[in-house]
Structure 1
Amino acid sequence: MPRLSAPAISLSDSEQEQLESLANRPSTPQQIALRAKIILRAARGDSHGAIARAFGITKAMSRRWQRRWLALSAREVPVTERLQDAYRRGTPPKFTLEQITELYALACGPPEQYDRPLSHWTPRELADELVKQGIVESISERHVGRLLAEAELKPHQSRYWLHPPPTPTSKLKSKTSARSTSKHQPAQNKAS
């Protein structure tokens, strides 16, 4: 079986200085310092096995960082960015923004509108209603609770979040403002 030789890495003086600085600086995160040391040893011509033994890592890790260094060097990515973890996409969100907005609207309305004999919504009841209305195929009550917590919605504590009911103070203000405008209008009418 043929041996895999380490790809040839040549460093400019600037790259060499930056890597040595990263490898030796105490404030550098350890994984970044280790990656810098891998590249420095590879530039010296060490094999994957020698690098792996020197740092207590696998040959695969040595290969991975050398390949990544070469690929990003060709694209002229800055040295510090070449040593960062690659972007990982993760799983796509299960629910669309529209579905989550529907959940919020449902949570802010009274349960009586949906023939639920409740004084306030619970995550279990919200999950059941979302499925019943066909908004989502399935959703757990824990996920409903997490979504409400992220939005800082507490349907059991705030009943009229979307449309607050009028308060005695707001009625008083509206009457006062209506009176003050009506006082000015007759004065204008008398003058004309």
Structure 2
Amino acid sequence: MAERERERDRAERERGLPRIRLDLPRERPLRLLPEYDPEAFGRLSERIARFLGTGRFLVWMTLTVIVWIGWNVFAPASLRFDEYPFIFLTLALSLQASYAAPLILLAQNRQDDRDRVNLEQDRKQNERSIADTEYLTREVAALRMRLGEVATRDWIRSELQDLLKELEERQEERHGERHGERRGLFPADGDRRSDVPDR
């Protein structure tokens, strides 16, 4: 078995084909540009963009410009590093703006991607909710149809009351008939007439 693999490796080397081995890690090609984690860079750009959009950044930026201009106007000439046209300040501000704009756009793109994913998840959740609601509506309608055929408690109660009244009436009729027969055979005390005259 090992000899077959060696022969296969040798044949592939002779043909100039690299042998891809699954038991060894792949060699990474040499890159001239440094590698970076796009997710980490995106998080950093979002943090910077959030800071650039705060009042704290505006206050610090304003204080920096005021100190810069004040130093270069009122400081002794030997300590000034940016004379009146403030070329270095202009360069620094334009450099800051040139970096801030792409960082803000990158943060907006990431936010758009998150919003798109959230919107898609909300849409799927809404579709599931609508499907569940439709299913429950059909089930409730089916239960209503089935309950229409089932006797309700009030209907059973009224039917039982009607039956009780009917039974009571029949019992009274039977009881009345029995008393009537008894009267004929055995008259009540008040109805008894004696054959013997009163003495």
- Which bracket does the TM-score occupy, shorter chain normalised? under 0.3
TM-score, with structure 2 as normaliser: 0.20
Bigger-Rg structure (1/2): 2
More helix by share: 2
TM-score, with structure 1 as normaliser: 0.20
* Bigger RCO of structures 1 and 2 (CA < 8 A, at least 6 apart): 2
